[in-house]
């Protein structure tokens, strides 16, 4: 038994950073297992019988999926941003809107990453409003990049203005300065078709003329932890040649899992069935309701009359800073103390759920435990685990 225990995620947050973000699809798990168990043609071109580059497979697939000229893969998106800045902007200036100086959590702050990469942050505009002329006025011969950062985990609303990627890309072309963006989650398909909150896609950002785009592998993409940079071939080649790339590169297991994940996008009509993260996010409420009924029966069976078990509508979230305000319709089993409000009974049961052989993690809200079914990977296993309650 390891201490990084397998847990049941009933928090209602599907891509939960503290619980390891996206679950790997069965296809990705198999590819990773094969890579772990034996040798793989990681940096070997089987057609030519000679050495090749470990990012080639991913680069070819992303070219096919997004139309990007090339791609580069590193450990995570934070590393991707660091690599872009260190490669092109060391000792130079990067222009960014004051409304996009984000902190993601875990000490990922854009100003700090800029400092680490040895570049100078040039803030333009104000917190709520930034105009094209603000960028234009800040450009000088020492400007390395114009940069956009997707405000994944917060929203600025009201009297606001920001410059969209297309306008910024045109300004960049006028001065021959690359325009880059940290897209955060980086969806590869339109999520609106599944009634999920809208998230910009990598393809649409490329069409808007951006030179480099970075995004995570384990957020909405639904694969292993990785940072992916797509864009202009000449720029990607420079990223590949930087010494930091060697420091930040991915191992064979991650690359195998990522390749298998991306391959699922070649068959978009099957994606919600095959890609676990999207499968969870798109489960119909009626299906969650049926699961909730089974869970309720099992809990009533295990708990004494001190507790009241019920099924209630709930609101789930994507997680990982994607779409912080959006809620996805869901269903939860709630557990409340039977006699008036007794918060200690609730916290005591919450602790018991966490102490199970495979811990059950829900959330406490309004003096009740909420077990949200939207984020649950395996009902059968959960029902088995609860035998020990
Ligand atoms: C999540 C996120 C990051 C960090 O990505 P990791 O893959 O966790 O390193 C960086 N920028 C934005 C905008 C994000 O949403």
Strand order in the sheet with 363-365: 13-15, 307-319, 328-337, 368-372, 363-365
Return the pLDDT at 244.
97
Return the pLDDT at 38.
97
Residue nearest to atom 14 of ligand 1 (CA): 184
Identify which of 17, 22, 76, 77 to mutate to test ligand 1's pocket (most ligand atoms within 8 A of the CB).
Answer: 77
Pairwise CA distance, residues 11 & 64, whole Å = 36
Identify which of 20, 182, 224 to mutate to test ligand 1's pocket (most ligand atoms within 8 A of the CB).
Answer: 182
- Kindly state the helix (H) or strand (E) to which residue 222 belongs, with its residue range: none
- Ligand 1: atom nearest CA of 79 is 9
pLDDT digits (tens, 9 = 90+) for 181-214: 999 998 999 999 999 988 899 999 999 999 999 9
**Pairing relation of β-strands 120-124 and 103-105?**
unpaired
How many other C-beta atoms can be found within 10 angstroms of the C-beta atom of residue 105?
Answer: 11
pLDDT digits (tens, 9 = 90+) for 260-275: 999 999 999 999 999 9
Judge whether 224 and 238 are in contact, CB under 8 Å. no
Return the pLDDT at 202.
97
What angle do the packed helices 77-89 and 233-241 form, to 10 degrees? 90
Q: Nearest-CA neighbor of 316 among 360, 266, 280, 275?
A: 280
Residue nearest to atom 13 of ligand 1 (CA): 184
- The structure's pTM equals 0.96
Question: Which residue stretches of the chain have pLDDT < 70?
Answer: none
List, chain by chain if needed, residues with CB within 6 Å of any ligand 1 atom. Answer: 76-78, 104, 108, 149-150, 152, 182, 184-185, 216, 227, 321
The CA 78 to ligand 1 mean position distance, Å, reads 6
Pairwise CA distance, residues 188 & 202, whole Å = 6
Return the pLDDT at 340.
73
Q: Nearest-CA neighbor of 295 among 276, 314, 318, 282?
A: 314
- Helix locations, 90-227, DSSP H: 110-116, 132-138, 165-175, 202-207
- Helix locations, 176-229, DSSP H: 202-207
Identify which of 79, 108, 110 to mutate to test ligand 1's pocket (most ligand atoms within 8 A of the CB).
Answer: 108
Q: What is the DSSP letter of 322?
A: B
List, in order, residues 6 or more apart from 181 with CB less than 8 Å away.
147, 148, 149, 150, 165, 205, 210, 212, 213, 214
The CA 101 to ligand 1 mean position distance, Å, reads 13
Judge whether 31 and 260 are in contact, CB under 8 Å. yes
CA 325 to chain centre: 16
- Ligand 1: atom nearest CA of 185 is 15
Pairwise CA distance, residues 96 & 65, whole Å = 29
Pairwise CA distance, residues 386 & 286, whole Å = 23
Identify which of 321, 323, 324 to mutate to test ligand 1's pocket (most ligand atoms within 8 A of the CB).
Answer: 321
Identify which of 16, 18, 20, 78 to mutate to test ligand 1's pocket (most ligand atoms within 8 A of the CB).
Answer: 78
Judge whether 92 and 144 are in contact, CB under 8 Å. yes
Residue nearest to atom 15 of ligand 1 (CA): 184
Pairwise CA distance, residues 272 & 283, whole Å = 9
Return the pLDDT at 186.
84
The CA 152 to ligand 1 mean position distance, Å, reads 8
The CA 186 to ligand 1 mean position distance, Å, reads 10
Residue nearest to atom 5 of ligand 1 (CA): 77
Task: Write the Ramachandran bin of 107: left for phi over 0, alpha for psi from -120 to 50, otherwise beta.
Answer: left
**Pairing relation of β-strands 227-231 and 307-319?**
unpaired
**Pairing relation of β-strands 13-15 and 307-319?**
parallel
Residue nearest to atom 7 of ligand 1 (CA): 77
Residue nearest to atom 3 of ligand 1 (CA): 184
Return the pLDDT at 104.
78
């Amino acid at each position: 038994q390891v201490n990084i225990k397998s847990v049941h995620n009933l928090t209602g947050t599907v891509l939960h950073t503290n619980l390891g973000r996206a679950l790997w699809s069965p296809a990705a798990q198999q590819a990773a297992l094969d890579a772990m168990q034996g040798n793989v043609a990681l940096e070997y071109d089987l057609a030519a019988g000679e050495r090749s580059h470990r990012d080639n497979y991913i680069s070819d697939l992303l070219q096919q999926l997004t139309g990007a000229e090339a791609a580069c893969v590193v450990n995570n998106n934070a590393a991707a941003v660091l690599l872009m800045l260190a490669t092109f902007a060391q000792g130079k200036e990067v222009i960014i809107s004051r409304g996009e100086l984000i902190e993601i959590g875990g000490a990922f702050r854009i100003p700090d990453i800029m400092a680490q990469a040895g570049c100078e942050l040039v803030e333009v505009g104000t917190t709520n409003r930034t105009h094209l002329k603000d960028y234009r006025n800040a450009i000088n011969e020492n400007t390395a990049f114009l940069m956009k950062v997707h405000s994944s985990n917060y929203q600025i609303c009201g009297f606001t203005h920001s410059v969209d990627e297309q306008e910024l890309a045109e300004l960049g072309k006028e001065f021959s300065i690359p325009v880059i963006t940290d897209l955060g989650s980086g969806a590869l398909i339109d999520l609106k078709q599944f009634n999920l909150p809208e998230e910009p896609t990598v393809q649409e950002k490329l069409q808007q003329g951006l030179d480099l785009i970075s995004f995570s592998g384990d957020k909405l993409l639904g694969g292993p932890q990785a940072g992916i940079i797509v864009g202009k071939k000449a720029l990607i080649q420079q990223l590949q040649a930087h010494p930091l790339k060697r420091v930040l590169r991915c191992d064979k297991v991650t690359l195998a899992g990522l390749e298998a994940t991306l391959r699922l996008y070649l068959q978009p009509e099957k994606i919600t069935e095959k890609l676990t993260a999207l499968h969870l996010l798109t489960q119909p409420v009626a299906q969650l309701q049926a699961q909730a009924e089974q869970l309720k029966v099992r809990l009533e069976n295990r708990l004494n009359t001190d507790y009241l078990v019920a099924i209630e509508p709930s609101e789930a979230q994507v997680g990982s800073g994607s779409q912080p305000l959006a809620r996805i319709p869901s269903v939860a089993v709630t557990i409340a103390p039977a006699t008036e409000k007794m918060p200690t009974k609730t916290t005591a049961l919450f602790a018991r759920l966490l102490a199970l052989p495979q811990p059950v993690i829900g959330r406490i809200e309004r003096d009740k435990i909420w077990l949200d079914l939207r984020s649950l990977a395996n009902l059968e296993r959960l029902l088995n685990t609860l035998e020990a309650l």
